[in-house]
Chains A and B, each alone.
Chain A
Amino acid sequence: MEVLLKPEICTIQEVIQETPDVKTFRLKFKDDSIMDKFTWNPGQFVEFSIIGSGECTFCIASSSTRKGTFDCSIKKAGLITADIHNLLDVGSEIGIRGPYGNWFPFEEIKGQNLLYIGGGIGLAPLRSLIQYTLDNRKDYKDITILYGARTSADMVYKKEIEEWKKMEDVNVILTIDKQEDLWFDNVGVVPKILEEKVHPDLSCTKVITCGPPIMIKYTLMSLDKMGFAPKDVITTLEMRMQCGLGKCGRCNIGSTYVCKDGPVFTYEQMKKLPDEF
């Protein structure tokens, strides 16, 4: 066990200030042979640690189709994330264990329309799958990305969103909660825009969603109203984790280990879990 809990050292290659409180860290293992062997599927997570401060769980926000480095987008929210924001810079060394958990069913959703619904920092886990599906574009049909944030300043991956907008085969819908100067896109919360602007073909569309709990709650209600089957809605759950190996018991919901059986669940599976939230 203790051996499994030992991290490998990574060096920070690049730090991107996405929003006032979100930074993306581009990471690479110090030992190249580990980097070569390191592979992951979209939706999996790693245990990210500042040696001396402690460990936190973050999803990998980039796709394994873009090898060489990997990204973690981190919001300053608690003790360790504050340290991550304040202490780390390009060249800093951190510890990484992983990848852990299951992943988005990228094989099973081949040949389907994909509807991504993200809110705030919730775009990070989706970005991994978005990049993967864009790199394997011919395997998937229409791709729609609906992304909302509180304000335009709170939107992550702004540069990349601009690139997605330019792509002819990707439909990007952006929204913010309240009107701002020089904002020419939609205004309103994600579920509202979803019902107004998205008209999916229910027979062959998969929804992949991630965002704050309150957004997820109302988005699932809207999706229900639109007629989506619970098995076609895929999301990733947030639960405090520590070991990531299905041992420490922290992420238990009922007899489910979120770190091993998840974090990716369909809405159908989620409904069967005890109502802890």
Chain B
Amino acid sequence: MAFSIFHISNDELHKLYEDIIKNNETYAPVEHSGDYKFKKVNSLKECNTDAPIKTTASVKPLFFPQTSAIMHYSEDAKGIKIDDPKEDVLTHKKVILGVKHCDARGMQVLDSVAKWDWQDEDWIKRRENTVIFSTLCVTPENTCFCTSLDYDVKTTDAYDVLVVNDGQKKLLKVCTEKGEQFLEPYTGVLTKLNGEGDAKLKAEFTKFKNAFHLKMDYKEVNAKLQGAFENDGWDFESARCVSCSACAFVCPTCHCFKISDEKVRDKGVRYKSYDSCNQKYFTLMAGGHNPRTQKYRRWRQRGMHKFVYYKERFGVNLCVGCGRCTVKCPVNISIFEVVNNVANNI
């Protein structure tokens, strides 16, 4: 189904954003000492929907919170009582503004793991109830490589509405039915473009694509990595890793979690929280057996899961090329370099 492309003036777009913020629970990048974070906003002044750099953490916590309670319980002489949940927060409708397309793609990629076999209802409900407004980056950062992967930034429908700069105006591209329905009340301020819209977008995308510093041949890297399990490049590349897991926590697509219990006297909570394959205890079994004791084995799992296993299982590449892990790594390990070096280390 083809969706429309519109023109909108900057002023009108601001008004539209203001209106959205007024009527919906809205999240957008908010600046704090030069970094950006997705926060709930009450007016457009608080946030920057065209943030020049990506947010420190991805948009993932809005769909998959860092910690979320599974159940609260209490214990007395009669036994254990599990409390009933009070309110279903998942039904809250949300709008997120200024999502970079790598982030949006990350969420789309994670749909596969949430929807195979057992259905992750929480994830699905949060996804369904959220409208994503994406802004095309003006210039990519040095760590970005989203255009080198297995998705096309130009045609992806990972976001519902895309906003692109076009001189003094903005191009607004509707990408999903959800986006179309959401924009219906605002059609008055939108000027529908016919053929010329596509051409304009294409020009912007080409400009964007050419600005990239990091480029790789995804197909080749993927093919080479498939046979790279025994490659000693993993050992070399992971040598300086300090196993801090910062990469996993800022990554839009890392989705491993753990389940923990915290109980004080007779009341407690069981919750799920982020975990990472970079941690030694991740696969440690009772009795001491651990298949991934060495760092290179853990990095191999990380690299291979992102670039080979997930693609093999679900048909999409897990890494979306946002480069956050590289920015936050204390020893400057870049996943782009790791997979390229391992693939070419034959």
Seen from chain A, the residues whose Cβ lies within 8 Å of a Cβ on chain B are 1-6, 9, 30, 49, 51-56, 75, 77-81, 93, 95, 213, 238-240, 242-243, 245-250, 252-255, 260, 274-277
B305 within 8 A of A: yes
| Size of B's binding interface in residues, CB under 8 A | 51
User: Cα distance A80–B286 when bound, in Å?
Assistant: 9
B257 within 8 A of A: yes
A240 to chain B, nearest CB (A): 5
A28 to chain B, nearest CB (A): 14
Q: Which residues of A contact B260 (CB under 8 A)?
A: 54
Q: Which residues of B contact A51 (CB under 8 A)?
A: 73, 75, 80, 261, 263, 268, 270
User: Cα distance A275–B292 when bound, in Å?
Assistant: 11
Identify the 8 closest CB pairs spanning chains A and B, nearest first: A78-B286, A52-B263, A249-B256, A77-B286, A255-B309, A255-B313, A77-B287, A245-B118
Contact A274 B229 (CB under 8 A): yes
Q: Number of contacts between A and B (CB, 8 Å)?
A: 125
B82 within 8 A of A: yes
Q: Mark B180-192, 1 if CB is under 8 A from A, else 0.
A: 0000000000000
User: Cα distance A263–B82 when bound, in Å?
Assistant: 30
Contact B79 A9 (CB under 8 A): yes
User: Cα distance A93–B74 when bound, in Å?
Assistant: 12
Contact of B257 among A52, A239, A243 (CB under 8 A): A243
A227 to chain B, nearest CB (A): 29
Task: Say whether, besides A52-B261, A242-B257, A9 and B286 are in contact (CB < 8 Å).
Answer: no
User: Cα distance A77–B275 when bound, in Å?
Assistant: 23
A204 to chain B, nearest CB (A): 34
Contact B117 A240 (CB under 8 A): no
Q: Which residues of B contact A239 (CB under 8 A)?
A: 283, 285, 291
Seen from chain B, the residues whose Cβ lies within 8 Å of a Cβ on chain A are 68-71, 73, 75, 79-80, 82, 113-114, 116-118, 120-123, 229-230, 255-261, 263, 268, 270, 272, 275, 277, 282-287, 289, 291-292, 297, 301, 304-305, 308-310, 312-313
Report the nearest B residue to A213, measured CB to CB: B289
Tell me if A's interface is mostly helix, strand, loop or mixed.
loop
Task: Say whether, besides A9-B80, A93-B79, A240-B283, A250 and B256 are in contact (CB < 8 Å).
Answer: yes
Q: Which residues of A contact B289 (CB under 8 A)?
A: 213, 238
Contact A2 B68 (CB under 8 A): yes
User: Cα distance A93–B70 when bound, in Å?
Assistant: 18
Contact of B277 among A1, A9, A80, A249 (CB under 8 A): A249
Q: Which residues of B contact A238 (CB under 8 A)?
A: 285, 289
Contact of A246 among B116, B270, B277, B305 (CB under 8 A): B116
Contact A254 B257 (CB under 8 A): no
Contact B229 A2 (CB under 8 A): no
Q: Which residues of B contact A2 (CB under 8 A)?
A: 68-71, 122, 272
Q: Which residues of B contact A255 (CB under 8 A)?
A: 308-310, 312-313
Contact of A52 among B82, B268, B275, B285 (CB under 8 A): B268
Q: Which residues of B contact A246 (CB under 8 A)?
A: 113, 116-118
User: Cα distance A250–B259 when bound, in Å?
Assistant: 11
Contact B259 A54 (CB under 8 A): yes
Task: Say whether, besides A4-B118, A52-B268, A252-B301, A277 and B291 are in contact (CB < 8 Å).
Answer: yes
